[in-house]
């Protein structure tokens, strides 16, 4: 199994993504030439807090992706998403109420809320148009079926947390499911938790 560039949805790729794509593709070609069966994987960063921010802003400003769609150097899809990110980030950083709504939106995304999932899926689809255009220019062997997002693992997380808690590896602390290690401490000398599930129901 060969992993490729791991790009993030709604963000442009940078030189590190391009470098790992070429290295991955070179390895795939060499291994296949020698007769090996190779599974190509491109793990997409398609889950997390930033999607709550983007989705919430888009729901509150539904015309945001309909304006100024003329292409830039990245292509029309990434131009639209870049504009959305640039508009939503300052709002998230400066407006505590909006930030709270965005964080709740992340929980709704993970819970499968229809409107939230539909908005997220639109961003994923639009980002893939951009990714595939880049991979096409590079001439690599990656196909859409090789992509697996972080979202793929979402249905498994509840069972993982149940197992962690049942085995005693994880414990509840202030409403969150946490794993503590004796040798991982904060500046105050107290153990710092690794959070499996946050108190609001979201997963780490």
Q: Are 173 and 155 within 8 A, CB to CB?
A: no
19: exposed, middle or buried (C-beta count within 10 Å: 0-12, 13-18, 19+)?
exposed
Length of the chain: 204
Spatial separation of the C-alpha atoms in residues 190 and 172, rounded to whole Å: 16
Answer whether residue 97 shows pLDDT above 90.
Answer: yes
18: Cα separation from own chain's centroid: 18
Bridge partners (DSSP) of residue 44 are 149
Answer whether residue 172 shows pLDDT above 80.
Answer: yes
Residues of the chain with CATH 3.40.50.620: 2-167
Bridge partners (DSSP) of residue 195 are 178
Answer whether residue 186 shows pLDDT above 90.
Answer: no
CA atoms within 13 A on the CB side of 165: 16
Tokens 């998403």 found at = 81
User: Residue 67 in 3-state DSSP?
Assistant: coil
The residue-averaged pLDDT of 176-183 equals 92
Using one digit for the tens of pLDDT, what is the confidence trace for 112-153? 899 999 999 999 998 998 999 999 999 998 888 999 999 998
Using one digit for the tens of pLDDT, what is the confidence trace for 52-76? 999 999 999 987 766 554 444 444 5
Task: Give the end-to-end CA distance of the chain in Å, rounded to a whole number.
Answer: 26
Answer whether residue 193 shows pLDDT above 70.
Answer: yes
What's residue 182's pLDDT? Answer: 85
Which fold is adopted by the domain 2-167?
Rossmann fold (3.40.50)
């Amino acid at each position: 199994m060969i992993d490729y560039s791991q790009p993030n949805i709604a963000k442009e790729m940078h030189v590190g993504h391009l470098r790992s794509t070429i290295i991955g593709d070179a390895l795939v070609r060499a291994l296949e030439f020698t007769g090996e069966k190779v599974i190509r994987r491109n793990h997409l960063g398609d889950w997390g807090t930033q999607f709550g921010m983007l989705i919430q802003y888009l729901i509150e400003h539904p015309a945001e992706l309909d304006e100024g769609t003329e292409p830039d150097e990245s292509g029309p899809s990434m131009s639209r998403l870049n504009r959305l990110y640039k508009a939503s980030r300052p709002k998230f950083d400066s407006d505590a109420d909006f930030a709270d709504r965005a964080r709740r939106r992340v929980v709704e995304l993970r819970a499968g809320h229809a409107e939230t999932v539909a908005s997220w899926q639109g961003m994923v689809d639009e980002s893939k148009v951009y990714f595939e255009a880049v991979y096409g220019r590079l001439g690599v062997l990656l196909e859409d079926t090789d992509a697996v997002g972080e979202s793929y693992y979402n249905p498994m997380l509840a069972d993982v947390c149940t197992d962690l808690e049942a085995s005693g590896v994880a414990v509840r602390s202030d409403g969150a499911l946490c794993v503590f290690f004796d040798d991982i401490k904060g500046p105050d000398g107290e153990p710092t938790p690794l959070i499996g599930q946050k108190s609001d129901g979201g997963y780490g």
